[in-house]
Amino acid sequence: MPLKLHNTLSRKLEVFTPINDDKVMLYTCGPTVYDHPHVGNWASFIYWDTLVRTLIASGYRVERVMNITDVGHLTSDADEGEDKLEKGARREGKTAWDVAEFYAEAFINGMEILGLLPPEHLVRATDFIPQQLDLVRELKEKGFTYQTTDGIYFDTAKFPTYADFAHLDLAAQKAGARVEANDEKRQAWDFALWKFTEPGTVRDMQWETPADLLDLPPREGEPIMGFPGWHLECSAMAMSILGPTIDIHTGGIDHIPVHHTNEIAQSEAASGARFANYWLHNNHLKIEGGKISKSLGNGYTLQHLADKGLSPMDFRLFVLQGQYTNEGNFTFENIEAAKNRLSNWRNYALLRHQIHDHGTHTPDAGDIPAPSAAASGALREALQNNLNTPEALRVIDETFATLDNKRLNAIDRQNLVDFLETIDELLGLQIMTSTPDIDDDAKRIILERRRARDNKDWKTSDELRDELAALGILVRDTTYDTIWSRS
């Protein structure tokens, strides 16, 4: 089955065809590191991790760039307000550099505990200042820029297809409706490539503006300091590392009308080529049906979840219960349901440690071993259909259900192991590593208990059950087997 993805560029489901037969060049919009990411941020990264895993399982090599925005992201998504890093620095009484370093490390740690595959290039905006300035220079040479008192702007009137990607109705748009008003802009939706530091102020993060980027050079000894616009970094990083045209660009739907529209304009104006062939956008994750807001105190972090006894894998499975194109709704009731689902799956995974103990039994004639060898293929096909994670989880539920009421000798151990490995490969739920075998002493107790039951020694059987329970091991008796799980 070919991989199909919903392309925002065409608003259609398309068969994915990369530029190179065996390699995919992918760019993911990363975090702005001024605070801890909340569950809505992490949901996006879990979806794109699933995309990477699906691409790899489809036979592609993936080269991915993810940015860490440590400068230039203003409090509005346009060109007004305070830089989020400077705001974070003021809030915490630190420098913007210290804030960026602390939260960048926190993000990387969060990626690790969520089991997200690391991108080949995890790069910081502050490390790509020369490349960003080069991009501004190229745009200026091609006539796409103009200067105001507060920065260098992209002239969207020079890029006729500016409104196409987001289907913007620019004629009906008033200054300040989509972006903040600025009387010096030629069009209200023109955007800053490079912002000047306000006169009389000193920023933690600022760089000298090269004279050749300015309409009029500064007076000698009076350099004009500045910093990049938020949109600029993504284009500079993607094109300098991956080339002028990439296969896939990912991000949230809130990026479509401003950030990604501006990325396309500046990238394609500079290169003369299409910036990305496929654009994938995840929908919002709401909290109790509403927006995530600091004022509401519902910007839950991974630590908040841990404090409530919820693991990173519980949250990961919760996110995967919804398809990336659909709006999600976070409630603690919903994530508890995901936790229970994952616990149930782990109990099925533990069966692989118990099958060999019953290898002397002979299945009845016509008894079909479970799970089916086709189960792993069905799981892959679900994800190849536009990353349909809800369908993938349904396949898992139905496959595990075939093990219910089965004698252990009727379970095909290799098929089960293959299926578990496929789940971990595609969904990153770490089921195999989270379900180790019990030790030999616990196995000895289970065998002793089985003998006690065979001898109808119920008192000893109950005592041994309690001994196992104290070790965190639960036992369930069937007609043919004693099956253990973890409490």
pLDDT of 174: 58
List of the chain residues with pLDDT < 50:
175-176, 178, 357-361, 365
15 alpha-carbon distance from chain centroid:
22
Q: Which residues contact 333 (CB under 8 A, 6 or more apart)?
A: none
Q: What is the pLDDT of residue 78?
A: 59
pLDDT of the residue at 361: 43
Supply φ then ψ for residue 255, to 5 degrees: -80, -15
Name the token pair of 24. Answer: 């995919």
pLDDT of residue 368: 66
Query: For residues 30 and 149, what is the distance between their CA atoms, to the nearest angstrom?
Result: 30
d(CA 442, CA 168): 65
Yes or no: say if 190 and 154 are a contact pair by the CB < 8 Å rule. Answer: yes
User: Do the Cβ atoms of 137 and 212 come closer than 8 Å?
Assistant: yes
Q: Tell me whether strands 151-154 and 12-15 are parallel, antiparallel or unpaired.
A: unpaired
Going from N- to C-terminal start, the domains of the chain cover 4-282, 304-427, 440-486
- Per CATH, domain 4-282 is 3.40.50.620: yes
CB 448 within 8 A of CB 406: no
**pLDDT given at position 72:** 85
- Residue 90 is predicted with a pLDDT of 87
Q: Is 345 exposed, middle or buried, given 0-12, 13-18 or 19+ CB atoms closer than 10 A?
A: buried
Q: What is the pLDDT of residues 232-263, one digit of tens each?
A: 999 999 999 999 999 999 999 999 999 999 99
Amino acid at 344: N
Quote the pTM value. Answer: 0.93
Sign, CA dihedral 357-461-345-366, equals positive
